[in-house]
Amino acid sequence: MSRRTVLITGGASGMGLAIARRFREAGERVAIADRDRAALDAAVAMLGGGPEVLAVPVDVASPPACADLVERTVAEFGGLDVVVNCAGVWLEGAAERVTEAEFDRVLAVNLKGTFFVCRHAIPHLERTGGAIVNLASDAGLVGNAGASVYSASKGGVVLLSRSLALELAPRGVRVNAVCPCDVATPMIEFQAATYGGGDPARYKANLLARYPQRERARFATAEEIAEFVHYLASPQAAPITGAAIPIDFGLTAGY
Ligand SMILES: NC(=O)c1ccc[n+]([C@@H]2O[C@H](COP(=O)([O-])OP(=O)(O)OC[C@H]3O[C@@H](n4cnc5c(N)ncnc54)[C@H](O)[C@@H]3O)[C@@H](O)[C@H]2O)c1
């Protein structure tokens, strides 16, 4: 297989960065896009730099910025084979305290950003028979008490992905969503520090208490998610499209 070009939003941190690393290990070219410029610089260094790593500062909440991001990637590498939408933000708290600005920001990054990156990538992916992988969440499959807006945004990502899969199947483009449980990334640390009431360890223990593994429960690693995303974007996964795949230790399997 010739080297592919992979565009990863949220590529400066957590799962996005682990996914970029996994594709680089396989010799692919990666464009990492993120709104955090300092983290982007650090990520480029971590990925070893060079002409096959492109860093693009972008706020995916802006549709014109999503268009520029796709065009810049194609101009740099000559095409586009895989898009992984990882950029995302977390919000939790009682519904009656959510402001309109918070609601708009979560939907703009998690759902609108995912859509507009896909939208602008479609013609390029059609040319290469490419694939899209969108990061949804366990909270996109089942409700999450205290995180209604985040959950709604990720539920949106699930049905956006399924709908695009049906629309693009005749044109040879696959679209899937992955739905991880809690993953050990900076986002979990942010959640615990911001919403843990001063006791981040207890916040994390409370998350783990929900898992079927009970005392054996742990967070997934970014590398475990990256391995699966790499597979999902590969030709070996050709029959898989329109799926929303839990990677969650059985968390959403039932009671
Ligand atoms: N960590 C978890 O437990 C978990 C579980 C399920 C799903 N997810 C989802 O997986 C994805 C990756 O999460 P993570 O844990 O790696 O988070 P992370 O916070 O480590 O990384 C997210 C990255 O997205 C970037 N980003 C945020 N808003 C952006 C914007 N407007 N434009 C461009 N970049 C932006 C951030 O700067 C950051 O680098 C997110 O969509 C998240 O909602 C996370």
pLDDT averaged over 10-residue windows placed end to end, the chain, 255 residues? 91 98 98 98 97 98 98 98 98 97 98 99 98 98 97 98 98 98 97 97 97 97 98 98 98 95
Q: Is 88 in the pocket of ligand 1 (CB under 6 A)?
A: yes
Phi and psi of 81, rounded to 5°? -110, -35
Interval between CA 235 and ligand 1 midpoint (Å)? 26
Q: Compute and round to an integer the Cα radius of gyration of the chain.
A: 17
Residue nearest atom 17 in ligand 1 by C-alpha distance: 187
Kindly state the tokens that stand for 90.
Answer: 């977390």
Alpha carbon of 122 to ligand 1 centroid (Å):
22
Q: Do the domain assignments include residue 161?
A: yes
Q: 109 and 147, same structural domain?
A: yes
Residues 6 or more apart from 163 whose CB is under 8 A from it?
A: none
Q: Are residues 114 and 211 in the same domain?
A: no
Please check whether residues 171 and 50 belong to one and the same domain.
Answer: yes
Q: What is the pLDDT of residue 2?
A: 78
- CB-based contacts of 131: which residues, under 8 Å, 6+ apart? 81, 82, 83, 125, 173, 174, 175, 176, 232, 233, 237
Report the alpha-carbon distance of residue 42 to residue 37 in Å, rounded: 9
- Give the structural domain span for 196: 184-219
Count of domains for the chain: 2
Q: Are residues 196 and 150 in the same domain?
A: no
In angstroms, the CA 28 to CA 230 distance is: 11
Asked whether 59 and 89 are in contact (CB, 8 A), the reply is no
Atom of ligand 1 nearest to the CA of 138: 6
Mutate-to-test residue for ligand 1 from 19, 32, 86, highest number of ligand atoms within 8 A of CB = 86
Reported pTM: 0.98
DSSP 3-state assignment of 217? Answer: coil
Query: Do 43 and 77 share a domain, yes or no?
Result: yes
Same domain, 79 and 101: yes
Any catalytic annotation for residue 231?
Answer: no
In a domain, 249, yes or no: no
Q: Are residues 196 and 133 in the same domain?
A: no
Which domain CATH number covers 24? Answer: 3.40.50.720
Residue 10 CA to ligand 1 centre (angstroms): 6
Pocket probe mutation, ligand 1, options 15, 118, 144, max atoms within 8 Å of Cβ: 15
User: Which residue among 44, 187, 195 has the greatest number of ligand 1 atoms within 8 angstroms of its CB, and so is best to mutate?
Assistant: 187
* pLDDT value at residue 1: 53
Helix (H, G, I), strand (E, B) or coil at 145: coil
| Pocket of ligand 1 contains residue 39 by CB under 6 Å | yes
Please give the helix or strand (H or E) that residue 189 lies within, else none.
Answer: helix 186-195
CA of 86 to the centre of ligand 1 (A): 6
Distance 190 CA to ligand 1 centre (A): 11
Q: What is the DSSP letter of 4?
A: P
Same domain, residue pair 191 and 174: no
